[in-house]
Amino acid sequence: MTEPSPTSSPHGLFVSFEGGDGAGKSTQARLLGAWLRGLGREVVLTREPGGTDLGVQLRDAVLHGDHVDARTEALLYATDRAHHVASVVRPALARGAVVVTDRYLDSSVAYQGSGRDLGADEVERLSMWAVDGLLPALTVLLDLDPVAGRARLTGEPDRLERAGDEFHRRTRAAFLTRASADPGRWLVLDATRPVDDLAEAIRARVTALGDVPSGRSLA
């Protein structure tokens, strides 16, 4: 029998990357995407917020607009995500593509639920409603001390990056708690490891998924 590999899967595969700012999510998403393309898979590389035209406007409003209260912020991310899932993620999974997203609903649970103190359970319910229950088959957490992450950033900090060390410590802790509660979905990696090591660990885990369904639906 041949080893199951990402090429053998007729199904879509949904993978998300999570972690603090500066953890290297986009680099690893890009490397995973390139590897999967090399195996002959269609890959859709995308991001939240801002994976659609409407999302680009919402991203600008939430990251660079005027102050908004925490609930408004949570709803802006949820709106971006609902439209992203309905118009990009689900159609791609339905045609058998691999969708690799730089952030997904776990960011809302960590940043708005714990960082902003809205409550992880409530924000999770809001997010799950927005996406009609679609969870990734794999979520990679690139874990990094927020102070180290900030040192890696370039350019003007956005609204979330300006939220302060305590906010970012709560967010990091929330990601780790969430990951340890569902090890079947999560892969937690120390983001200070060399880029190539991280990429290899991620490829190994994706390979181990074998012939996986497009995502896990709790709906």
* Footprint of ligand TYD (CB under 6 A): 21, 47-49, 63, 77, 103, 107-108, 111-112, 158, 160-161
Residue with smaller CB distance to ligand TYD, 14 or 111: 111
Task: For residues 28 and 202, give the distance between their C-alpha atoms in angstroms, rounded to a whole number.
Answer: 8
Token code pair at residue 97: 């593509």
Cα separation, 88 vs 44, in Å, equals: 9
**Of the two residues 11 and 185, which places its CB atom closer to ligand TYD in the complex?**
185
Task: Tell me the two tokens of residue 113.
Answer: 């639920």
- Nearest distance, CB of residue 30 and ligand TYD, angstroms: 13
**Which residues, in sequence order, are bridge partners of residue 18?**
141
Contact status, residue 22 vs residue 148, Cβ threshold 8 Å? yes
User: Residue 9 or residue 16: which is nearer to ligand TYD going by CB?
Assistant: 16
**Rounded to the nearest whole angstrom, what is the least distance from the CB of residue 209 to ligand TYD in the complex?**
23
For 41, the 3-state DSSP assignment is: coil
Residue 48 beta carbon to ligand TYD: minimum distance, rounded to whole angstroms: 4
Alpha carbons 181 and 179: distance in angstroms, whole number: 5
Min CB(161)–ligand TYD separation in Å: 6
Beta bridge partners of 189: 142
Is 85 or 212 the residue whose CB approaches ligand TYD more closely? 85
